[in-house]
Each structure stands twice: as structure tokens, then as C-alpha cells.
A and B are shown apart, each in its own frame.
Chain A
Amino acid sequence: METISIRAPSVAPSGTKTRRSMRTRLPAAIALLPTALVVLVVYIGCMLWTVRLSFTSSTLLPKLDWVGLAQYNRLFVNDRFVTSAENIVIFGILFISGCLIIGFLLAVFIDQNVRGEGLFRTVFLYPYSMSFVVTGVAWQWFLNPGLGLQKLVRDLGFESFTFDWLVNQKMAIYTIVIAGLWHGSGLTMAIMLAGLRGIDKDLWKAARVDGIPTWRVYTSVVIPLLRPMIVTAVVLLATGVVKLYDLVVAMTLGGPGIATEVPAKFVMDHLFERNNIALGTAAATMMLITVVIVLAPWVYARYIRAEGRRA
């Protein structure tokens, strides 16, 4: 769908080439060939293949029959998928807004000419360098009620303190959010800090001369100026949300019960463990549709409509 819309502008201006320039460009074209093949076979071919499989009745092996939307009908009444979809919405909203708020606050506080700025920055960003598996295992250990945080507080004398989110069906998804925030808010901080550093220093002088309170400058001037940074951060975080898989596998394995299942895990389980290829690919297609709806306008405006280099 979107491949057609981006084709239009770049086909037109290529009629003016001489034969000589065609020949000198040949090595460049050959160099790009492997990537072009990958784009065709993997990025387009595999995607279409997945979509096609979602309209079949394939189970263990792929079949190329046609059952229409039957798999989608099954998908939307599947408890696991519905829970997965709900979870990814909860996680997405809390994770993105949480990262933005924490990241912004950290960046603002770091930007107050503090001593040891480098140290703080390092500490806030290091979780981002580690894998989701490591993050998940670490938080699983810290939040497990038997020996972790709950026991710690109880040993301090608060005998009735309870923090059992990790094993509580209703709350388990929020532990994933906490681990995600720990992992990702440093990145948002780094992006926001870069934005704050790019703001004209005269702005602060002007605001001080005019006697405008600092918080007011932040809410009315700085945040609007940071808009590109915020958009970038949201897109980055949103792609992370869709990919959410390793963290859940390492931390809860989708449990307790199906309380922390997510779409990516639903697809993986149905494709490679439950031998239900058609249902798995239908769920994958739903993920694809969601991403296209959310991101296509942004990608179009940012990368495709914007003029590339005119060499």
C-alpha cells in the first residue's frame, strides 16, 4: 500500500541520463543489488507471504488454500489474543508516557548546571545498554515476593506490607512496565537533554529579565521547542513497544496464567510451538496493520516527502 505511494515521486526525473553516465553508474547499481534483493525477498516478499498465510487453514505446515477471514474471526474471540492486545495497549500508554515524563524530568534536572553531570547521565542510561533478558531477570528477582522487595520491607518491621504484583494476575503487567521504564527512560533523557542543550541561551536571560518563573518557561516555551525531540522519542519508544517480547519471556513467561501475554509472544508461540501457522500469521498481520496505521504518516512526512540529497 505505502510502497505505491512512495514510488510516484522518484520514478519521474530519470529520463535525462546519457549512456555514459549509465555505464559509470553500473558498479553502484551492482553494489546496491544485494540489498535490493533483500528488500524484495525479505521485506516485501516475506511480509506478503505472512499476510497470505493468514487467509489459509495452515497448521503444522503451510497450505495455500483460502478460508477468508476465518482466522481473524478466531483471533478476536481468542482469550489469549484479546488479553495480549489489551496488555500491549496498557504497556504502550504507560511505558511511552512514563518514559517521556521521567526522561524529561531527568533531563531538566541534569540541565541545572549540576556537579557530576556525566556521572548522573551514565547512571540513568546504562540500563539501556543491557538486553531485555537481563532486565527481565533482574527485575523478576527484585520483585519476587518471597525473597525480594516484599521481604525486604517486611524485615524492616512492616509485617503486613504486600507487594505481590509479579504473581498477581491483575497487576503483573505493571511490573513489566516498571522494568521497561527502568530500561528505557534513560534513552528519553538523552534525547531530551540533547534538545535542551540546543535551546538558545538567550531565552533564559530574556525570561529572567522579564521575571517569568522557571517552570512557566519550561511549560510554555521549552516543551513546544522540544517537539521534534518528543516526536522522535515517541516513535523510538513505540517501535520498542511493538517488539515487546524478550522482556516478558524473561520476566513472567506470559504468566501468571495469561496475564502478561503480548502479541509478539502470541505470534511466536503459535508459529513455533503450537503449530498453528495460520492463527500466528493472522496475529502477525494484525501487528503489521497496527504499526502501519500508527507510523505510516510519520515515516512518510519524515523520510519520504522530505527531499533527499541532490547530488
Chain B
Amino acid sequence: MSTLVPRGRRPQNLTIGRVGVYAFLATAALFFLLPLWIMVMTSLKPMDEIRLGNILALPAALTVEAWSKAWSSACTGLECNGISVGFWNSVRILIPSVILSIVAGAINGYALSFWRVKGANVMFGVLLLGAFIPYQVFLYPLVRIFSMTGIYNSLTCIVLVHVIFGLPTMTLLFRNYYAGLPIELFKAARIDGGGFWSIFFRVILPMSTPILVVATILQVTGIWNDFIFGLTFAGRENLPMTVQLNNIVHSTQGERAYNVDMAATMLAALVPLVVYFVSGRWFVRGIAAGAVKG
């Protein structure tokens, strides 16, 4: 029996087995890192080098020209203002969508888990089922409704769509979190004469920091990465970065500038990557809370 393992499961000596474990993990890590490496390398090379050289190799003549071109002058269809247009559109979509969907989720979750409103659980059940239904089932009637009300193809429209389709996850997230809070807290506040909103703002909201962080991570990455809603509802003026990226990649005339494509791709991936690396374990917790805990 080994004496080395207070916490572990098996002895920790460097056996063939251990080497095998690390070899497997390292190989897997290479597979996962490969596309990122290739993207970064390609984006830093001039086109001549891409055509002749090795796709994995470090750039011989390092240049950030592709990045500046991708940012400010790459063509998305007829216009050639780069992906920066999409970046700022995404920011303008992101901020109100994230805030409003979190507010809606928090209020819903609070009302559902502390106040027994008639029919609320039925509503919640339908909402949750809605989360599993493919968006294609709702899109066309929704387009008709928005065009009838005159806000189709606008910033308002895309923000509303994000809030609507964020409702199931956000409500579920907050409902589950609030269901875990001690009910006595709520009862005490009720005895003290607190009403719906005063309890929410004075008691519940101050305790919600962890779930607010999780919700923000979830919504920022989710909304930033959205493609289908932006394509359908945002209108030409407000196309988000993902749609612009797709346009840049697929609409280049003549020879494709792979370095510019890859620089644009990296730029589009940057925000969620930063969120991911900064948030670390919270990111996993977000996915888990949004989906696993039911």
C-alpha cells in the first residue's frame, strides 16, 4: 500500500500508466488547440507565405496587416468597412439584451419561487418546453408580428428577440437559485410588512450576486455568439459580428484572403474568449446551472 495518497485514488508513482495518462491528455490538448494555433498563425502571415508555406509554421514575416484590414476595411458584401461595424453592432445589441433579459429572469424567478401566483407554474412549464423547441418554429410568425408593429429590422426588434428567447434559461436559473434560499428569510420580510417589490430590492437582490454573475456570463457569450436571430431580425444596419464574419468569409471576390478571414474570425471570437478565460470556473457553473440543475 502506498503512503503517498491522502487524497488520491491510486498510487502516484511515475508508472507506464501515468505516462499514458499524460500522453492521452497532451494529445487531446493538441487537438483542441490546433485550430486556434492555425487561426492565429494564418492571421499573422502575408498571403504569399500562406500559399507556399506550412499551415502550422510560425510566420517568417510577421505582419498585423491582416488584423487591421479585417478590422477596418474587409468587405462584407458591397461595403468595405471591416468587421468593426459588426463589433459595434454586437455591442449595441449585447448591452440592452443582457440587462433586460437578466432583469426579466430575476423578477420571474423571484415571483415564481416565493409568490404563489395562480397558473404561474403552468406558464413556467410551457416556457421550459419552449426552450427545447427549435427556433425555426417561431421565426416566421414572429417576423410577421414585428413587421405589423413596425419595428422589424431594428435594434429594438433584435433586443426584444434576445429577451424573449432568453426567458426560459434566465427564469429557470433565477428560480432555482431563489428556491435554494431559506424561505424563513422571505417569511420574516413578509411579517415585517414587505411587499413584492420592497422584498425583491431589499432582501432578495442583495443576495443574488453569484447568480447575477452566472447569468451575465451565460447571456454575454450566448448573445454575442448568436447568428440566426441577428440574421433574421436585426436588419442591414445592425447586423451583429457573427453575421458580418460570415459575410466577409463568403463574399470575398477573387482570391480569398485567408489571413484577413482568420484575423476577422479571431476578432469575432475575442469577446467570448476573454469572458471564458476571465470567468474560469464560473463559466462552467453557468452552463451547469443553466442546463443541468433543472
Binding site for B on A (CB under 8 A): 2-3, 6-7, 10-11, 14, 17, 24-25, 27-29, 31-32, 34-36, 38-39, 41-47, 49-50, 53, 62, 102, 105-106, 109-110, 112-114, 120, 122-135, 137-142, 147-149, 151-152, 155, 182, 186-187, 190-191, 194, 201, 204, 208, 214, 232, 235-236, 239, 242-243, 245-246, 249-250, 253, 263-264, 267-268, 271-272, 277, 280-281, 283-285, 287-288, 291, 295-296, 299, 302-304, 306, 308-309, 311
- How far, in angstroms, from A308 to B179 measured CA to CA in the complex? 9
A90 to chain B, nearest CB (A): 18
Taking CB atoms, residues of chain A closer than 8 Å to B138 are 42-43, 46-47, 50
For B183, give the chain A residue with the smallest CB separation. Answer: A311
Binding site for A on B (CB under 8 A): 7-10, 12, 18, 21-22, 24-25, 28-29, 31-36, 38-39, 42, 50-51, 54-56, 104, 107-108, 110-123, 125-142, 144-145, 164, 167, 171, 179, 183, 186, 195-197, 221, 224-228, 232, 242-243, 245-246, 249-250, 258, 261-262, 265, 268-269, 272-273, 275-277, 280, 283-284, 287-288, 291-292, 294
The answer to whether A272 and B228 have CB atoms under 8 Å apart is: no
Q: How many A-B contacts at CB < 8 Å in the complex? A: 294
Please pick, from A50, A130, A243, the residue contacting B272 in the complex, using a CB distance under 8 A: A130
The answer to whether B31 and A182 have CB atoms under 8 Å apart is: yes
For B275, give the chain A residue with the smallest CB separation. Answer: A129
- How far, in angstroms, from A283 to B225 measured CA to CA in the complex? 25
The answer to whether A133 and B132 have CB atoms under 8 Å apart is: no
Please pick, from B104, B114, B141, B225, the residue contacting A35 in the complex, using a CB distance under 8 A: B104
A249 to chain B, nearest CB (A): 6
- How far, in angstroms, from A236 to B164 measured CA to CA in the complex? 20
Given contacts A43-B130, A131-B268, A299-B132, contact A114 B144 (CB under 8 A): no
Taking CB atoms, residues of chain B closer than 8 Å to A106 are 25, 28
Interface of chain A, main secondary structure: helix
Additional 19 contacts, C-beta under 8 A, given A129-B273, A277-B140, A311-B114: A10-B119, A24-B196, A25-B116, A29-B118, A36-B123, A42-B130, A47-B133, A50-B137, A53-B140, A120-B25, A123-B33, A125-B283, A130-B272, A137-B246, A141-B261, A152-B54, A182-B32, A204-B9, A271-B139
B115 to chain A, nearest CB (A): 4
For A29, give the chain B residue with the smallest CB separation. Answer: B117
Please pick, from A35, A112, A214, the residue contacting B127 in the complex, using a CB distance under 8 A: A35
